[in-house]
Amino acid sequence: MYCLLKFASLFLAVSVCHGWLFGDFVGKQKDLDEISLWPQPQKFQSSAVAFKLSPVRFQIVHAKESSAGPNCSLLENAFRRYFEYMFGDMKKHEKSRKKVFDSDLVELKVWVTSADPECDGYPSLQTDESYELSVDGPSAVLKAANVWGALRGLETFSQLVYEDDYGVNNINKTVISDFPRFAHRGILLDSSRHFLPLKVILANLEAMAMNKFNVFHWHIVDDQSFPYMSRTFPELSQKGAFHPFTHVYTPSDVKMVIEFARMRGIRVIPEFDTPGHTQSWGNGITNLLTPCFSGSKPSGTFGPVNPILNSSYEFMAQFFKEISAVFPDAYIHLGGDEVDFNCWKSNPDVGKFMEQQGFGTDYSKLESFYIQRLLDIVAATNKGYMVWQEVFDNGVKLKDDTVVEVWIGNKMEEELQNVTGAGFTTILSAPWYLDYISYGQDWQKYYKVEPLNFPAESRHTDPCVERTAAVPR
């Protein structure tokens, strides 16, 4: 079992969450436009001493001691991006070129401490995102183990900068020590129920980075449409997308999303949900879905993936081989939710198969049979997998490093208890279904959720809980 929050840090995290936060100064000098950090760092101390920042003089640089340098494109990119966030339009500042203040903050030095900064790598569930930020004249210092922590620190630094009444950028003397409480902080987008143009996905990744979200759970295909352009099976999007040219994600679109996300320390976990939620798959791959029957004749409609045919598994093997190559993250989400048994029940061949296998009339056994084989197929591609909670609930045999996503609101705490009790890493999304709209300041109810509010047997089998906000489902 992978427990990324070591006991000590978990204890720290829990205690911090119980109000051991220091930074009393924060309350005193908090002005309307001044220091508002989001999310709130673990440890934060600020004083009233202010430094001015000149867009002409100020620079973000690699510290001499840093293991990352100018060839680290991820950081170079980030330096430019954060510079723009802080100073906006450079043309505005041309007039102030001549103004130089003694109290200037001259530079932010970024110091990556590990031998391998991971500049050209991808973030993972085990990534250390901690950082330390010290803002004091004339140089501020941002220290992090790797580039991912540095990105988090840069975001925080940019939020410390504020404009005074003269339009001059200021930043106060600050010391911050920060790390995330949970390692998986994700957002799910659904690009099947409606096609989301690339720009929108990228804009959302930007907003995620500003909030230190680090996982983009891409629920890319579903019943209604199949916009993912597969090179192994081009018919999937040709016949399954809302439109084969205007409503698809080409391989280069997908690459763009992955790289754009990587540049912001965001993992991209694709979800190819089966055996349910697959209507659109059947358009391109005949024989994939189970034909439903009306009495003794096929009714013309189709149900979940057909689990009794070898061809289904051959298809999945080839398909997931491609997926594992296209998406670099260590995990793939395999879905497994809301499988409707009615179609299977109506099909006589499925019925025969059930008999042969000795499943009786328990179709959840058939579902598990399918999932089991699918998990084995995906495991063979060397990927870890994430599944919706039904897969766990139905007693499927899962690999040790499986991540189970809890989405059903009813009996959520009990589910968390069961999943972690069985030793699995879990992700909580049930209380964060932002697609359910309500009136008023509903952000408050999302804010108040406490993921660890369930009885855990003992500290020893520490639950490793992450959170995913599903937006929209």
For residue 439, the minimal CB distance to other proteins (Å) is: 6
Q: Which of 100, 200, 380, 422 binds other proteins (CB under 8 A)?
A: 200
- Nearest approach in angstroms of CB 361 to other proteins is 23
Q: Which stretch binds other proteins (CB under 8 A): 86-94, 142-150, 208-216, 433-441?
A: 433-441
Exposure string of 243-253, with b = 16+ CB inside 10 Å and e = fewer, is eeeebbbeeeb
Q: With binding defined as CB under 8 A, does residue 80 bind other proteins?
A: no
Kind of pairing, strands 267-274 and 215-219? parallel
- Looking at the Cβ atoms of 5 and 334, the one nearer to other proteins is 334
Q: Which residues pair with 217 in a beta bridge?
A: 188, 269
Residue 242 touches other proteins, criterion: CB under 8 A: yes
State the nearest-atom distance from the C-beta of 353 to other proteins, in Å: 26
DSSP codes, 34-97: S---SSPPSEEEEEEEEEEE-TTT-EEEE-TT-S--TT-HHHHHHHHHHHHHHH--GGGGSGGG
Stretch binding other proteins (CB under 8 A), from 1-9, 32-40, 191-199, 207-215: 191-199
Both structure tokens of 287: 């024989």
Distance of closest approach, residue 242 Cβ to other proteins, in angstroms? 4
The number of angstroms, rounded, from the C-alpha of 294 to the middle of its chain's C-alpha atoms is 42
Q: What is the 3-state secondary structure (H, E, C) of 389-458?
A: HHHHHCCCCCCCCCEEEECCCCCHHHHHHHHHHCCCEEEECHHHECCCCCCCCCHHHHHCCCCCCCCCCC
The β-bridge relationship of strands 162-163 and 169-178 is: antiparallel
**Can residue 199 be called a binding residue for other proteins (CB under 8 A)?**
yes
The answer to whether 235 is a known catalytic residue is: no
Exactly one of 43, 57, 239, 247 binds other proteins (CB under 8 A); that residue is 247
Cα distance between residue 64 and residue 122, in whole Å: 24
One of 246, 286, 299, 357 touching other proteins (CB under 8 A): 246
227, two tokens: 């916009």
Residue for token digits 């089991």?
Answer: 372
Total residues binding other proteins (CB under 8 A): 26
Per CB under 8 A, 243 contacts other proteins? yes
44 CB-contact burial (10 Å; exposed 0-12 / middle 13-18 / buried 19+): buried
Question: Using CB under 8 A, which residues numbered 394 to 423 contact other proteins?
Answer: 407
Least CB distance from residue 224 to other proteins, whole Å?
A: 5
With DSSP H G I counted as helix, E B as strand and the rest as coil, what are the percentages for the chain, rounded to 5?
Answer: 35, 20, 45
By CB under 8 A, tell whether 203 contacts other proteins: yes
Pairing, β 465-470 against β 185-190: parallel
**Cα 329–Cα 119–Cα 5 angle in degrees, nearest 5:** 55
- The span of 24-32, 87-95, 169-177, 188-196 binding other proteins (CB under 8 A) equals 188-196
Residue 415: is it exposed, middle or buried by C-beta count within 10 angstroms (0-12/13-18/19+)?
buried
CA distances 446 to 127, 206, 343, 437, Å, are 26, 21, 37, 12
Scanning 98-106, 162-170, 196-204, 420-428 for contacts with other proteins by CB under 8 A, the matching segment is: 196-204
Under the binding rule (CB under 8 A), the answer on residue 445 touching other proteins is no
Q: Which residues make beta-bridge pairs with 172?
A: 50
272/353 with CB nearer other proteins: 272
Report the residue from 310, 438, 453, 458 that binds other proteins according to the rule CB under 8 A. Answer: 438
Catalytic residue among 84, 94, 338, 355: 338
Identify the residue among 63, 154, 196, 371 touching other proteins (CB under 8 A). Answer: 196
Q: Does 197 bind other proteins (CB under 8 A)?
A: yes
Q: Could you tell me the smallest distance in angstroms from the CB atom of residue 223 to other proteins?
A: 7
By beta-carbon proximity to other proteins, the closer residue of 1 and 203 is 203
Nearest 5 degrees, angle CA 382-CA 324-CA 199?
145
Binding mask 207-236 for other proteins (x = CB under 8 A): ----------------xxx-----------
193 is an interface residue for other proteins by CB under 8 A? yes
Tell which positions 312-351 bind other proteins, by CB under 8 A. Answer: 337-338
Choices 71-79, 126-134, 243-251, 370-378 (CB under 8 A): range interacting with other proteins: 243-251
Is 331 in a helix, a strand, or coil? strand
For residue 97, report the phi and psi dihedrals to the nearest 5 degrees.
-55, -40
Site residues (CB under 8 A) for other proteins, limited to 13-72: none
Cβ-based nearer residue to other proteins, 92 or 194: 194
- Residue whose CB is less far from other proteins, 360 or 440: 440
Identify which of residues 198 and 317 has a Cβ nearer to other proteins in the complex: 198
> Shortest approach of other proteins to residue 425 CB, angstroms?
21
Which residues of this chain interact with other proteins, rule CB under 8 A? 193-197, 199-200, 203, 223-225, 242-243, 246-247, 277, 337-338, 407, 436-440, 470, 473
User: Could you give the residue numbers annotated as active site?
Assistant: 338
